[in-house]
Chain A
Amino acid sequence: MTHKQPHPDPDMTTFEPKIVAYVCNWCTYLGADLAGTNRLEYPPNVRIIRLPCTGRIDFNLIVKAFETGADAVLVSGCHPGDCHYTSGNYHARRRWTLFRELLDTLGIEMDRIHFTWISAAEGRKWQQVITEITEKTRQMGPYLAYKRICRVS
């Protein structure tokens, strides 16, 4: 038996956006930890998936997140130059520019994908980013259009 989230309510009054965040272990994950240590409150809509590095992020994971009902996806790692593995984030960025076009062509709403760098010291930035994304997604409403894309393609 799996515990199911209530299905997003299309009339938006009770709509709670579902946000999946792929973050690297060494900067953004620790940034989110710091937000916790400093008790910086933010909306509870984000679910973090910890990966060693943004270099590990295969962008099909973004599609997968939408497939499982995410309304927005965040990818976040170390600032350029700060990657724990020296250059994983450069690779991620390079791949992302290519992948972006593909997703765009497929008709994915690019406004629902967020890319940012948050360091281990930036607890406050984590709080801000999540608050902003949650608000923005709330305004955009549930990603129902994705289901339609799936049906067409």
Chain B
Amino acid sequence: MARIGVFICWCGENISRHVDVEKLAEQCAHLPGVRCCLTYKYMCSEPGQNLIREKIREERLNGMVVASCSPHMHLKTFRKAAEAEGLNPYLVEMANIREHCSWVHHDVKAATAKAADLIRMAVAKVRRNHALSPIRVPLTKRALVIGGGVAGIQAALDIADAGHEVVLVEREPSIGGKMAGLSETFPTLDCSQCILTPRMVEVGQHPNIRLYTYSDVEAVEGYVGNFSVTIRKRARYVDISKCTGCGACWNACPNKKTPSEFDFGMGKRSAIYVPFPQAVPARPVIDANACTMLTKGKCGLCAKKCAAGAINFKDQDELITEKVGAIVVATGYKLWDIGKEQENAKLAGYGEYGYGTYKDVINSLQFERLVSASGPTGGELRRPSDGAVPKTVVFISCVGSRDNAKGMSYCSKICCMYNAKHTMLYKHKVHDGQAHVFYMDIRAGGKNYDEFVRRAIEQDGAQYHRGRVSKITEENGKLIVRGVDTLAGEPVTIEADLVVLATAMRPADGVETLAQKLNVGYDEYGFLSESHPKLRPVETNAAGVFVCGACQGPKDIPESVAQASAAAGKVQVMFSREEITREPEIASIDERMCAACFTCVRACPYNAIERAEIRDRAGRLIKRTARVNPGLCMGCGTCVAVCPSKSAELEGFTEQQVYAMVESLG
């Protein structure tokens, strides 16, 4: 039998001014199932809660309704109070007679009548509530980090240093990401490799980190705390447990004409190669498309030179399964390749800049390699076409950023900063050279950032032109850059030796496919979606999956690192418990009723419903059914609404409860 307590709050005068609380209490005392009905000045206060607890005890209540403010405000408070008195917290409901009533309706009669309705609905509901207990799921305290750029490295080290095992998957032959190829970094101009490589080495040697390079995440199954990840280790043709990294092989390799990915095509590499000298692991891979032994069965020189016998031309991809409890995605970015044909009609590209046609029109990451001490020119700036030292260089900002018409509508955020850096690096290398920058606005927010840009202009003499470039043509070995300076109000034409395009920062290739495997959302550009832009910036809507670095949006190194540490922190919070507890207000399916149409399986936004089979003892199939995985269900109730056979039910919002609420209004 229902023994419901109704507790009506005055909220000082907030409620009582427009709702006649005493009259309300009289009416509600007679609602079916109601055992007692009380009012109090402040229900949420300590004496208010004590009053509730006293009544729970005295009247042996088996359900209660607090009529006060929004459940978003105090449902947890009252559920806790009930629990402390031994009443299951899920037998507590609220009627929102403040935000939805007294604060918005000032006619006392009407407001009191509405408040009565709201309480009546809550009582009708609570009579049909079930006692629930939090769902406990076991937790594997190991983390997967996808992507080994500076963000992934930071996240992996933080988690590993906290004492948890980390599986780090990087698709390139070495970790390091873009930062490993940068020359010097704004706003301090410290050498990128000098600060990054020690951290890379740390990852390589960390007892808690298992590193898979040249590998991809093939499949992800399971749910928060209990993911099972299949990793494809691509054939490397080099046994890295035998290899000593001596370099005999790549020195011997006769096929040295492949454009180096690490140098963004500015240099060449051999068919067997390490992407750069400080690579981690410092072990080569064979590029199966470039190696003539693998394509034509001819050569094998590297194998002959390898004293360790590490070369294995018969190597094959290997699939490995790893169990983890949390996943951090740090797949970073790429620069938009404006030269090639574009993947969709909206992106027209910027053919007028001649990227991909004129050798001396390059992008910013290529420029980084040309000024890097470890780059293909040994740090001497020489242009790609003829190796000459460029005396006039034009840097163009916002190529494809902030361009609704044919590019990305967002700002890539870091280009203003690295353009300033590039003009400085250029001036430090070519003292008699002149740098020009075309820009829309200078966005240099950040500690010491604006000062940095000013230095480029004032000390290093970069000429800044506010305006866009309309066209670049090539004449007699010069690049003719035509643009406008909107501040001077006149067209500008510059004869340049080298043009550097700050093309838009976009998410790494393949990120959408990965996001789908992880059930993580992404925006129209492919940047991964955080669960709340302000309050949950590194969580995603997939429980147990976190994001950091440039895969979530354009950002620089300090921000990527900060976000990576934040994601690692979230993982550690998760790992600080022995098991995961989840809200029990989730869906379930009546397996006897289920027609196995699997409409719900397709509708569930979290892939929380599986196709299952019911078998008898002898293993004969009795029937097929849908089954909710309590570790995955988030309780949206979509399955309940779509199920044609009415077999799905959502705790906390059961059909019975909801219908009872509507009926109570009749």
Contact = CB atoms under 8 A, between A and B. Distances in A.
A2 B71 CA distance: 25
A41 B521 CA distance: 37
A152 B577 CA distance: 61
Contacts of A35: 99, 104
Contacts of B99: 32-33, 35-37
B35 interface: no
A39 B659 contact: no
Interface size class of A (residues with CB under 8 A): 35 or more
B636 A41 contact: no
A87 B605 contact: yes
B605 A49 contact: no
Contacts of B178: none
Contact of B121 (A37, A39, A47, A55): A47
B650 A91 contact: no
B107 interface: yes
Nearest to A49: B661
Contacts, number: 139
Nearest to B109: A44
B637 A52 contact: yes
B642 A49 contact: no
A86 interface: yes
B37 to A, nearest CB: 13
Interface string B98-127: 111101111100110110111011000000
A65 B70 contact: no
Given A33-B99, A53-B637, A56-B637, A2 B31 contact: yes
B665 A56 contact: no
A18 B641 contact: no
A95 B642 contact: yes
B638 interface: yes
B638 A85 contact: yes
A68 B121 CA distance: 13
B541 A3 contact: no
Nearest to A24: B636
A147 to B, nearest CB: 13
B191 to A, nearest CB: 43
Interface string B647-666: 00010110100110111111
B103 A51 contact: no
B77 interface: no
Interface string A1-35: 11101000000000000101000000001101101
Contacts of A20: 662, 665
Interface string B571-586: 0000000000000010
Nearest to A58: B641
A30 B636 CA distance: 16
Nearest to B586: A52
A108 interface: no
A49 B662 contact: yes
Contact of B27 (A3, A29, A39, A95): A3
A39 B107 CA distance: 14
Given A2-B120, A70-B665, A87-B605, A41 B650 contact: no
A107 B50 CA distance: 53
Interface string A61-98: 10011011110000000000001111110011001000
B640 interface: yes
B658 A49 contact: yes
Given A44-B110, A52-B650, A91 B642 contact: yes
A59 B640 CA distance: 11
A146 interface: no
A51 B106 contact: no
Contacts of A43: 105
B641 A57 contact: yes
B641 A64 contact: no
A110 interface: no
Contacts of B113: 5, 44
A91 B638 contact: yes
B541 A86 contact: yes
Contact of B638 (A5, A55, A64): A55
A50 B100 CA distance: 12
B40 interface: no
A67 B642 CA distance: 22
A1 B33 CA distance: 10
A68 B661 CA distance: 11
B291 to A, nearest CB: 44
Contacts of B103: 36-37, 39
A39 B140 CA distance: 48
Contact of A85 (B116, B120, B634, B658): B634
B641 A36 contact: no
A21 to B, nearest CB: 10
A61 to B, nearest CB: 7
B310 interface: no
Interface in A79-128: 83-88, 91-92, 95, 127
A56 B636 contact: yes
A43 to B, nearest CB: 8
Nearest to A66: B662
B32 interface: yes
Given A2-B31, A39-B103, A55 B662 contact: no
Contacts of A44: 101, 104-105, 107, 110-111, 113-114
B128 to A, nearest CB: 14
B605 A86 contact: yes
Contacts of B288: none
A96 B625 CA distance: 26
A84 B662 CA distance: 24
Contacts of B121: 47, 49
A30 B666 CA distance: 26
A85 B114 contact: no
16 contacts: A2-B664, A36-B103, A42-B104, A44-B110, A44-B114, A49-B121, A49-B661, A51-B637, A53-B637, A55-B638, A56-B653, A59-B641, A61-B658, A69-B666, A85-B634, A86-B521
Interface of A: 1-3, 5, 18, 20, 29-30, 32-33, 35-37, 39-44, 47-53, 55-59, 61, 64-65, 67-70, 83-88, 91-92, 95, 127
Interface of B: 27, 30-32, 70-72, 96, 98-101, 103-107, 110-111, 113-114, 116-118, 120-121, 521, 541, 585, 603, 605-606, 634-638, 640-642, 650, 652-653, 655, 658-659, 661-666
10 tightest A-B CB contacts, nearest first: A56-B637, A36-B99, A55-B638, A68-B666, A85-B636, A36-B103, A44-B105, A44-B110, A53-B636, A33-B99
Given A30-B72, A43-B105, 10 more contacts: A36-B99, A41-B105, A42-B104, A52-B652, A68-B663, A69-B665, A70-B665, A84-B636, A85-B605, A86-B605
